[in-house]
Amino acid sequence: MKGEKINAAHKKFDQLLVEAIDEVLGSLGEPVKNHLYIHLENDYLITKEELPQQIEEFSHFLFRIFGTSANNLEIRFMRTLYSKIKADQQLEHKSIAFNEDNLTFSTYVNKMRESF
């Protein structure tokens, strides 16, 4: 029973993560977002639905495309994910500081998944 709850929570978290990524990429424009997803799938063999399990590879992909500007996207992903989790749970969620030393996007996602 407990394993089912954890699995359901992880699925919900993954759904919110994909929504956050999709929303932020969409802010770049639909053609850009669609091109990024096509490039990600063709060159990295990662589908949109697989992003939660391939977050580190996705981060590398972003840095290859956008260089250091990928940091700005990752911060926006984290903020959007945080707001979606907070809205979903309708309560104050334990905050994980964005300025923690060595906090990468993949580390943040993993910490948030654990606390979700």
Domain residues for the domain of 74 are 2-115
Domain of 45, CATH number, reads 1.10.1200.200
* pLDDT tens, position by position, 31-68: 999 999 999 999 999 999 999 999 999 999 999 999 99
Look at the chain and report how many structural domains it folds into: 1
**Closest CA relative to residue 80, chosen from 41, 57, 102, 108:** 108
DSSP string, 14-73: HHHHHHHHHHHHHTT-HHHHHHHHHHHHHHH---GGGGGGGHHHHHHHHHHHHGGGHHHH
* pLDDT tens, position by position, 58-99: 999 999 999 999 999 999 999 999 898 887 665 444 445 455
Per-residue pLDDT for 8 more than 90?
no
